[in-house]
Amino acid sequence: MERLQKVLAHAGVASRRHCEELIAQGKVQVNGQVVREKGIKVDPLKDKIVVNGQQVKLEQHVYLLLYKPTGVITSVTDPRGRRVVIDLLKGIKERVYPVGRLDYDTSGLLLLTNDGELANRLAHPSYEIDKVYRAWVKGIPSQDEVRKLATGIRLEDGMTSPGQSKLLKTESSSQRALVELTIHEGRNRQVRRMCEAIGHPVLTLERIRLGFLTLDGLKPGEFRKLTQEEVESLKQGLVQKKRSPRSKR
C-alpha cells in the first residue's frame, strides 16, 4: 500500500505537490469514490484510480541492472538516431528510465527503473551512494596525484567531494595505469575531468559498482532484473544514509 499522491506522481500524472492539489480539489476517485484526503493509502495494482474522469494507468515497478557497453547513449531516445540503452532491453514492456547517466564512451553498471522516487534518491549526492569506476589513464600517476583524486580536485564547477582512489596496476611498456576511483557525486564527465586535471587523461572508463550492486554474471549489453531483496536493500540503505548525520568534509 502506498500514499495516493505518491502513486499518482509515479504514474506520471503530475508532481507530487500538484497531485495533492488535485486530491484536495476532489478531482481524484478511488474505486468510484471521490477522495479528498491526500494521506489515503491505495494498492496501485488493485485499486481503480481516476483523475479528471480518466483512469490512471499504473505500471508495476521494474528495476533493471544493465552492463552498458561503449557506443550507446544513456537515453530513452536520440534525435540523431544513435543506439540508446533502451534498445538493449529486449522483452521489457514497461517504460523505464536510466538512473543518472554514463557517457557514450563509458561502459559499466547502469540502473533503469520506472520507480521515480527511488531513481531521484539514488541520483542525489546527499545520499552518498558509492559509485566505483576503473579507468585506464595515460601515463603513470604518482602516489601524490592518486591521493589528490581522493581528497578533492578543483574543477571549473568547484571542488569535488572527497572519495577514495587506488592505483591498481601500471604498464611501463605502454605508459598507462589502471586507477580505481570511488565518488558520490554525478557531475558531467566528472571522472574524466578529474583525471585530466592531474595530467593523466582517461583512455577507457568503466563503472564497476553502484552501492552493493556489481556487474557479476553479466557481459556488455546484457541486463537482469534486481531481486526483491536487492530492491529492499537499496531502499533501506537510502533511508539509513538519510537519517545518519553527514560527515563534515
Span 187-218, pLDDT tens digits: 899 999 999 999 999 999 999 999 999 999 99
CATH number of 130-210: 3.30.70.1560
* CATH superfamily of the 2-55 domain: RNA-binding S4 domain (3.10.290.10)
The pLDDT of residue 115: 85
Contacts (Cβ under 8 Å, ≥6 apart) of 223: 64, 65, 66, 67, 88, 89, 112
Q: Assign 243 a pLDDT band (cuts: 50, 70, 90).
A: low
One fold for 2-55 and 63-125+213-241 = no
Strands (E), 47-87: 49-51, 54-55, 63-68
Question: Per-residue pLDDT tens for 12-46?
Answer: 788 788 999 999 999 999 999 999 987 899 987 78
The pLDDT of residue 10: 72
Kindly report the pTM of this predicted structure: 0.79
Q: Hey, where are the domains in the chain?
A: 2-55, 63-125+213-241, 130-210
Show which residues are catalytic.
103
* 194 CB burial (10 A radius; 0-12, 13-18, 19+): buried
- Quote the cell numbers at residue 114: 520506472
CATH number of 63-125+213-241: 3.30.70.580
User: What's the rounded mean pLDDT across residues 175-198?
Assistant: 95
